[in-house]
Structure 1
Amino acid sequence: MKKILIIEDEPQVRENIQEILMLSNFDAITACNGMLGVELAQCHAPDLILCDIMMPELDGYGVLKELRHHHPTATIPLIFLTAKSDRSSLRQGMEFGANDYLTKPFEPDELLRAIMAQLDKQSLIAQNTQAKLEELSQSITLSLPHELHTPLNGILGMAEILIHDPGVSAEETLEIAQTIRGSALRLYRLTQNFLLHAELEILKRDTARIQHLRCRSNLAAKSVILSVIRKKAQEVDRVRDLGIELREVNLAISEVHLKKIVDELIDNAFKFSSTGTPVWVLGSADHRFFHLQVIDIGRGMTSEQIENLTAYIQFERRTYEQQGAGLGLTIAKQLTELYGGQLTIESTSGQRTCVHLTLPKANQMNILAEQSSLNFHSS
């Protein structure tokens, strides 16, 4: 039985709505004012809320604001009940995050249709969310153990050789030590990415801290980008494959975060393309933004894979065994959006991938900081 909370200060209206809902097989609970309504919503977690707008102490807008600021009640559908029919009032209600509205007086059928429409939408959202959670769970189940066990097995296996094989030569000992070091670095990168991803998920809800990060940085970016991509190219022995065209620009981003973004993008380009094929890093700027493109001729991605890109997802695991748990691009996207930028991917499966990064120039940050909505969303 679906539970519906009625927040209405007029006793007759409140009782009439409750009777209609009970006759329609709903569990209807009531609150005579906004303050009590918020308490009951937090206590009972109703499936839907009907809320009058004009109430003393805490009006409908205040109720909605309180509900949306608390995680347990943030997604409960809310239908405003209002005696006002002017468009400004209705528009304000929708801007505050209401799902629908009914103008009093209304017929029982009109009320029930509005309720069922919202419950059906919520059910569909829940189904889609559950499907995504199951997909994510499966991806974590398949990917995470493999990514953790592979470097650990390398470390443990090589250590066993050193301990139990007295005939290991000095040259072999050095090779084993290098293998252990490589596995340890891989494991370290993986754990750091998991921690960073979790930190960014928390940070995206801290508006004040985001504004502070955006406004305090003024970084000469060219040398930073060059150092990262050249180091990565040397590590994977692909210096000859690298093509670079960059111009100097000052960006409103921390050096640590820019290095992380570029490192993940260039690492991804090398990882999913073959030695001997080109990887281009192209940087340009207009009067507001810096544009960085990382292009490889390699495995590519389908449009569906790009759309479904998220943390822990690594596509075609059974076919390809490249290292990585799917966090790299997600983290790069999170960091880019943290600073008011955008990261997009254009790709043709089996042919070419271009990751396009856009970041505000340093002198644009004060303008962006004044905007009321933050350009921050999770892959």
Structure 2
Amino acid sequence: MNVPSILVIDDQPDNFDVIETLLSKQDYLLHYAASGQEAIASLNIFQPDVILLDVMMPLMDGIEVCQRIKAIPQWQPVPIIMVTALTAKEDLARCLKSGAEDFISKPVNAVELRARIHSMLRIKQQYDKIQSLSNIQASSIKVLESTLDELRGNLASTLPHELNTPLNGIVGIISILIEDIDGMNIAEIHELLGLADKSARRLEKLTKQLLIYLELELSTHQQQNIEPQSTHFSMAAIAAALESHAQSVNRSDDLMFAVEEAEVSISDRYLAIILHELVDNALKFSQTGTAIKISSQVVAGMLNVYVHDLGRGMTEEQISKIGAFMQFERKTYEHQGIGMGLKLVKKIAERCGGQFSIFSVYQQETKVRIALPIVNK
């Protein structure tokens, strides 16, 4: 893991010595620039993760330095903390208006400095994760020429929203805690942390879906076969995880099982992904109190796995568009996601030598069938 890089911009070297002392026990790589011009010229050398910027400097003050740094696209995501002796609200507002993420007053308090830098580093790490995900998406577009239109269309229109919504929630909650935590009671803090955790899990789920999808697409493009693996399909193997997922949305009583056991040619990881995505869809698109049945049956050397719900169903047109990265009737039902779940299920099943099919009656029911090859022993 890289050591975080902190750039201190201050025309007084003694102030840098103070910052260095306050952060002496932290695992940071500290850099110093005596002017805004020197700092801007050295950004590519220092590669800062956070910038501590003094407001009162000759020739080019901190406000102008901040504006110039934020005008450079490469450095826009780097959080800037303004270090200032100013106390007037108008002056502090100017600091934030210039693009700074935060400010800290002189004389600098060690605990406050460390806390604010830690918070800004967390925000920067989130930006870096999003950038990395964006780079993965860009690379996949080049590889997957056959799906270029759909990736640029529906996926491109929904992905920024699905990434930014939880990210903004996390960043916003961190900002509230930084500003108001001293005046909050424990219940309020727990509530905010719960919301932040929910946003983080939503972001984590989307990231995992994208990475699994790209893993499958790249292996297909490179003509790599999935390593044959054997997994025992049974009630004991699948029920606990699915019941836990249903319980998380208060629907543990809605799951029903009718399972015929078999040894199937699929890894336990891919099998878990298939079942999670199918049950997640069933939970999402059916009402609480209606049954969701997970069943399996051996037929002609294949294990047919079914997930059946009595939810809102799909039209023939919607079924034909599975894999186009869209959520049907999104504006009406306002569900999260980018329509990738069934795409993943279909691709995993086919890559493992299986089959995927859907039977659905609009506004009544949906039954998804996955047929997996049986391993003969």
Q: TM-score, with normalisation over the residues of structure 2?
A: 0.58
Aligned to 2:242: 229
DSSP-derived class of the 1:363 partner: coil
Counterpart code for 1:291: N
Code of the aligned partner of 1:177: L
Q: Is the 8 A contact 1:280 1:295 kept in 2?
A: yes
| CA pair 239-177 structure 1, distance change in 2 beyond 3 A | same
Aligned to 2:278: 265
CA pair 220-352 structure 1, distance change in 2 beyond 3 A: closer
- Structure 2: tracts of 5 or more residues without a match: 1-144
Instruction: Trace 1:179-258 onto structure 2 (pairs within 5 A).
Output: 179-207=195-223, 209-210=225-226, 213-214=227-228, 216-258=229-271
Shift in alpha-carbon separation, 1:287–1:312, aligned structure 2, 3 A? closer
How far does the alpha carbon of each residue in 1:255-300 deviate from its partner, in whole angstroms, 9 at most, with x for none? 1110011000000110111212211111111351111111111121
1:213-265 residue CA offsets vs partner (Å, 9 max, x unmatched): 22x42434432221231121111110111111112211111111100110000
Q: How does 1:289-328 map to 2 (within 5 A)?
A: 289-328=302-341
Q: Distance in 2 between matches of 1:311 and 1:157?
A: 32
Shift of 1:208: 5.3
1:154 is matched with 169
**C-alpha distance in 2, partners of 1:318/1:186?**
19
- Report how far residue 183 of structure 1 moved: 0.9
Structure 1: how far apart are the matches of 2:335 and 2:284? Answer: 7
Aligned counterpart in structure 1 of residue 153 of structure 2, from 121, 138, 141: 138
Pair 135,254 (structure 1): closer, same or farther in 2 beyond 3 Å: closer
- Residue 322 of structure 2: SS of its match in structure 1? coil
- The residue number in structure 2 matching 1:349 is 362
The alpha-carbon distance between structure 1 residues 331 and 360, as it changes in their structure 2 partners (threshold 3 A), is same
8 Å CA contact 1:219, 1:251 repeated in 2: yes
| Distance (whole Å) between structure 1 residues aligned to residue 347 and residue 166 of structure 2 | 26
Q: 1:311 to 1:134 in 2, by over 3 A?
A: closer
Identity %: 40
Residue 116 of structure 1 corresponds to which residue in structure 2?
none
Secondary structure class of the residue paired with 1:160: helix
When residues 272 and 362 of structure 1 are mapped into structure 2, their CA distance, relative to the original with a 3 A threshold, is: same
In the TM superposition, residue 161 of structure 1 has moved relative to its aligned partner by 2.0
Alignment of 1:45-194 (within 5 A): 134=149, 136-165=151-180, 166-194=182-210
Q: Does 1:280 align with 2:296?
A: no
Give 2:177's aligned amino acid: L
Contact 1:139 1:314 in 2 (8 A): no
2:336 maps to a residue whose letter is: Q
* Matching residue of 1:4: none
**Matched residue pairs, number?**
233
Q: Secondary structure, in 3 states, of the residue corresponding to 2:376?
A: helix
Determine helix, strand or coil for the equivalent of 2:225: helix
d(CA) in 2 for partners of 1:319, 1:227: 32
Q: TM-score, normalised by structure 1?
A: 0.58
What corresponds to 2:23 in structure 1? none
- Secondary structure of the residue aligned to 1:204 is helix
Q: Deviations over 1:103-159 (max 9, x none)?
A: xxxxxxxxxxxxxxxxxxxxxxxxxxx998555523123211121112112212222
Q: 1:222 to 1:250 in 2, by over 3 A?
A: farther
| Change beyond 3 A, Cα 1:135–1:330 | closer
Q: CA deviation at 1:363?
A: 1.4
2:333 is paired with a residue of what secondary structure? Answer: coil
Structure 1 residues 257 and 281, CA gap change in structure 2 (3 angstroms): same
Quote how far apart the aligned CAs of 1:176 are. 1.4
Q: Which residue of 2 aligns with 1:97?
A: none
3-state SS, counterpart of residue 261 of structure 1 = helix
